Structure formats: structure tokens, C-alpha cells
Chain A
């Protein structure tokens, strides 16, 4: 077993144990989305029109929820020192942690998305498309958030700073995510172009995120 998979498995195990953030993200998402119909009222047309946007905002906030502790917990107990001393490049270490975070936080959230369609008067097939846009877009959220998590690692109460740093950077993901979801539900614009751009954003952040986060961590150690 390589260092990469060892770290991936450890982080997934930590997330699913007591005090881990695995199901918190999905539950937070569920609660936030469930609150919307109570606030908006029983206007079914309005609900189905804003449904995709609500789901995307919920997913955005939920995926940032546990991210601020991603490096901070390792920093606080001294693990981060040992992680940086490894033969595994820091960029790969950081990527392993991000993938573990995505698998334990974003994936459960995508799985429950079709069920939430009931709350927002969106059809089941359309919810499938929304889940598909989340599947394509949430890796970008995680890997952009990774940079913020690395920057705020040594700060107490870094979570708030991280949200301020990261949320503006996620605007393109939000725009194309909601555009693709809307195209699938109400049309008339085609689903393809915004969805392809969403995939491109995820791929680009997949490459850039670990490098930026590793650089931020090295700087933060000084």
C-alpha cells in the first residue's frame, strides 16, 4: 500500500468515525434545502423555478462546512509536520486529503439530492440531471476550498476567513452549475455547453488546487 492510499483511507476512516464530518455535510444540506419551502410558501411554480439554485447554494455551503478543519486538525496534533516530511510530494498529500473529503462529504450529498426534489416540486428525472451537475461540479468546490483551508491553517477561527476567501472563487462553478441544471429542467437552452464548462472547471481546479494549497502550507510553516 502506498503512502497516498494510506492517507486517503485514514482520512475517510476519520470522517466516518465519531466527530468526523462525513454525514454532517449531507445532513446540513438536507436541512437547509428543507427550510426553503417553509420560507417561500406553497408556490409550486416558484419552487420548481428556483429549485436548482437552492440545491446548488446548499451544496456549496455544505461542502465548505467541514473543509476548514481539513488541515487545521492535522496541524493542531502535529500530524502535519510528519505529513510534510514524507517522500510523497506535498501536492499529492494534499490531493489525497481532498479526494477523501470529497468522497465522504460531497458524495453522500449527491446521493440524497434526488429525494430532495420532493421538497422543491422538481420532477425525478430532472433531479437526476441536477445530481449529475453536482457530481461534475462539487470536485471544483472541494479543490478550490482546499486552497482556503491551507491558507487559514494556522489561524484560530480560520473557518470564517476561509469562507470569505473561497466563496467568491466558486462563483463560476455556481453560475455554470445552476445554468446546466436549469437547462435540463426548464430549457430552452441546451444542457451540453454549461455542463461541459462545469467539467472543465472541475478538471482545472483538480490540477491547480493541490499546487496552490501545497505552496500555501509551505509558506504557513514559517
Chain B
């Protein structure tokens, strides 16, 4: 399975954000997207996720099940955590797990425990800190198996211990044949990931 981008370009508000972006990420590989603020890292991830339309070129998964679109095989972890303050931690995760297609009889507790939120399962998400909310949305990636992880600044708001934990999740995902595309400013704890520099000649 491979994520391939050919001559990808995107325009926002009449301005060309990037053009001629080419890369290929194979199963078990990670690619980090780096670049200055405004160089189009987040935009690239949103284009891959299908949330923004590409102005030119194409991006797609090859070698996967034909009937499933790229978006259905990808997890998108954006800047926003997609948690509802009035639902409890467990209810939030349970909803996303069911909605994203996890079988109803699979409990979400192991995923919550993995991000160390097991003891807060019955607390309304309104009382979580920014880092805890971040961990709750990371639990989503563990609760539902998907091939491609699209991570936008995944380590933001996380403490060092949680960053290490996230790195372990990512290594495990890659070892299982998964793919990761992550936009980041700093190191995210992966061994020698491929790097795509945005804003250079594009």
C-alpha cells in the first residue's frame, strides 16, 4: 500500500499555497512535513484528507481496497480536538469509535487506558486540560484501526511523557504496516522519518 502525490497544488483565497508537491509514502513509512509558518503544512494535510480540494495534481492511496476512499482509510488529527464538553471522556471516544466504524462490541477502555485517561472516563470533557483533550483525540487513532495517520502538530500541548507515549504509538503503527504523515516543527520521536520541506521553490 502506498500514498502517492503527483504535482499536487493548492490555492487558498486566490493565493497559491504550494505547487508541484511530489512524494510517495509506502506501508511502514513515516514522512514529516516541515516548513515555516504559513508554508502550507496544514493545508497539505487537509488536501490529503480530502477536506480541501487540490487546485492541480492528485493524491491517492494505491494498493488498498478499491471501494474505500482515502478519507475513509485515514485518521486526521487536526489542531482542534473534536471533543464535546458536555459528554464524558468515555462517551466522546465511544461516539467517534462507533462513527468511524469500530464494531459495537469492542470496548474503548483499552484505548483510554493507553493514553492514561482511564481514571477520568466518567468526567465531562469540559474539565479536561488542553493536553488531556489532545490525548483523548489521540485515543481515537488507537480505538479504530486505519492505515494512514495524518497528524497536524501532534505533540502540541503534550507533556514530555505523553510525547514519548505518542512516539511509541506511532512506532507501533508503523511496525504494523501503517503510514504516517505528520506536520511538525520539532522532533516527534521517530527514527529517521522521510522529510518533506514546504515552502522551497513551491
Are B78 and A78 in contact, with the CB atoms below 8 A?
yes
Whether the Cβ atoms of A78 and B80 lie closer than 8 Å is yes
Binary per-residue interface labels of chain A (84-124) against chain B in the complex, 1 for a CB within 8 Å, 0 otherwise: 11111000000000000000000000000000000000000
**A81 in contact with B78 given A10-B95, A13-B91 (CB within 8 Å):** yes
Contacts of B99 in A (CB 8 A): 3, 6-7, 10, 82-83, 86, 88
Q: Is residue B147 within 8 Å, beta carbon to beta carbon, of the partner chain? A: no
B98-128, CB < 8 A from A: 98-101, 104
Query: B51: which of A13, A17, A20, A81 is its contact (CB, 8 Å)?
Result: A81
Residues on the A chain within 8 Å of B83, using CB: 77
What range describes how many residues of A lie at the interface? Answer: 20 to 34
Q: Quick one: given A10-B87, A13-B87, are A85 and B76 in contact (CB under 8 Å)?
A: yes
Q: Which residues of B contact A79 (CB under 8 A)?
A: 82, 84
Does A221 reach chain B (CB closer than 8 Å)? Answer: yes
A14 interface contact, C-beta 8 A? yes
Chain A residues near B98: list those with CB within 8 A: 1, 3, 6
Complex interface residues of chain B between 64 and 92 (CB less than 8 A to chain A): 68-69, 71-72, 74, 76, 78-87, 91
**A-side contacts of B79, CB under 8 Å:** 78
Q: Report the interface size class on chain B.
A: 20 to 34
Which residue on chain B has the smallest CB distance to residue A84? Answer: B51
CA distance A86 to B71 in the complex (A): 7
Q: Per-residue 0/1 for A1-39: is the Cβ within 8 Å of any B Cβ (1 yes, 0 no)?
A: 101001100100110011110000000000000000000
Complex contacts, A1 vs chain B, CB 8 Å: 98, 104
A43 at interface by CB-CB < 8 Å: no
Distance between Cα atoms of A221 and B78 in the complex (Å): 15
The 29 sampled A-B contact pairs (Cβ below 8 Å) are A1-B104, A3-B99, A3-B100, A3-B101, A6-B95, A10-B87, A10-B95, A10-B99, A13-B87, A13-B91, A14-B84, A18-B86, A19-B85, A77-B83, A78-B79, A78-B81, A78-B82, A81-B51, A81-B76, A82-B100, A85-B49, A85-B71, A85-B74, A85-B76, A86-B99, A86-B100, A87-B72, A88-B99, A222-B52
User: Hey, which bits of chain A sit against chain B, CB under 8 A?
Assistant: 1, 3, 6-7, 10, 13-14, 17-20, 76-79, 81-88, 221-222
